[in-house]
Structure 1
């Protein structure tokens, strides 16, 4: 493996933590004897093109510095290439890094762990989800949570996460069950009234909400969590249990496992790793060992 590696940096992640985190991570990698170059982009498309260029030039590893959005971009650059992906998780969610057991918001510690893993050859292949030509590492979300994202993204004010808090309140006021048509790889069609459906390659989304607590990054299968028809009061009681992953024991919740999942519902957008992938219907495939990652 070449000793030259690439930091793929989002300078705006975590209100500027991305740019600040790149320095201690780079210092830790250089102290371990690696030559480090940094890739920035003017926008997402430019950043992805630059990351792909670094991979094509034979970088020894691509290290994403930022949150889940930056990690998702990095996945598009390295999938299927054999180039190891490392994560310096300094964003708001960090859910793929959490599933991999990486340090969160500790860039120097993450840099040291990555350096040690690269030197020892401690890399492994993990699964990814694919929707069309888009790849995701954590969760494909749809339903109540995706409608919150839709509404929050449309709001110009207030700034920051508070607008999503307001979006939650607004969507709770408008809460209605969504008629879903779910087709798994057994061919059976399940027509259900649901509050949300989450397709998990990893266990969590939204910064540690364990929506698919049993998901395994190496089993070649998604965990599909279906939260059935909940009224507002019941949903507010269910919501806190998602952080512990105990919601799957409730009667309103069903979990399926499949390598292929088709979701169809009117007026619902799918979000993968927090990024919009388009309106339903969408079909997700779990691809075993799609990406090589550096980690503990």
Structure 2
């Protein structure tokens, strides 16, 4: 008899964390099979593949979808739950087994990657509803693009860091990979002039080092950019770091890892349900650890729209 009740699929990104995910997952998969759990496994083979795999699984009636990898893999699976702005399944639940470089949303949930935590995911009967965020911007193909996310969107040093880290090997692991990319970003990045509106009201106009629109707390491999954020409060947390010099940014970075940066005079904090970010400059964007595009962005929160297994 199967030990898990829900029809479950694991979607595994084998190249996540410079290939470590594939090796770790195979050991865990063997243990689960020996314990009598019944599940499907599908490996991704290209960027955005997890979106298609997720949609196909939901159309086949899978009730629990577990992403195995980093924040980018998790985000692809999230987007697979939606098609033309509508959820494919109202009842299917989502979870993540963190094995990637960043793991920032898993850090918020305190998810683990050990075998006992996987047992918990498979046997857990209680699911939680959480908020989801829709982002609209320009994709790399120059066309209007719509993506969903659960954790954080940002533009600035964070998005430049994300861009650099996704171009290079992640063999150093999460913290060191992000730190190395951050230092490289600081060497070349120039604060950009932008305008931010929250719920239709202009709240900021000027140069910004980082502008983050958060549902979760962490980004950049453990930076607690939005310490007050909650994934089920129906609100976006907007953190704007103003025109800091590179030296001042580095000086205050340790505070940001602990979520103690909001009192800095150059940091502004807001909450709201919709956010608009506009600039005459070509803003580089980050969304859940990926670099999906650029330019002016519209964001909107959808309350309690995703079912999460934690």
TM-score > 0.5, shorter chain as reference: yes
Most deviating of 238-247 and 46-55: 46-55
1:88-103 to 2 correspondences below 5 Å? 88-103=97-112
Q: How many pairs are equivalent?
A: 288
User: Which of 117, 120, 128 is matched with 1:113 structurally?
Assistant: 120
Displacement after TM superposition at 1:177 (Å): 3.1
Matched, 1:290 2:297: no
Q: 2:295 maps to what in 1?
A: 280
Displacement after TM superposition at 1:140 (Å): 0.3
Partner-residue secondary structure (3-state), 1:229: coil
Distance 1:174 1:3, change over 3 A: closer
Partner-residue secondary structure (3-state), 2:17: helix
Distance 1:279 1:15, change over 3 A: closer
RMSD: 2.4
TM normalised by structure 1 equals 0.88
Deviations along 1:24-68, one digit per CA (max 9) or x if unpaired, are 544565567541111113213333212211111011211111111
TM normalised by structure 2 equals 0.84
User: Which of 209, 233, 247 is matched with 2:247 structurally?
Assistant: 233
Q: For structure 1, list consecutive stretches of 5 or more residues without a partner in the other structure.
A: none
Distance in 2 (CA, whole Å) between partners of 1:19 and 1:174 is 34
Distance in 2 (CA, whole Å) between partners of 1:10 and 1:244 is 30
Q: 2:142 maps to what in 1?
A: none
Deviations along 1:87-115, one digit per CA (max 9) or x if unpaired, are 11111111111222211xx3313211202
1:1-296 to 2 correspondences below 5 Å? 3-26=6-29, 29-30=32-33, 34-79=37-82, 80=87, 81=89, 82-103=91-112, 106-117=113-124, 121-132=125-136, 133-151=146-164, 160=171, 167-265=181-279, 266-295=281-310
Distance in 2 (CA, whole Å) between partners of 1:28 and 1:152 is 32
Stretches of 4+ aligned residues off by more than 6 angstroms: none
Q: CA contact under 8 A between 1:268 and 1:280: conserved in structure 2? A: yes
Q: CA contact under 8 A between 1:85 and 1:293: conserved in structure 2? A: yes
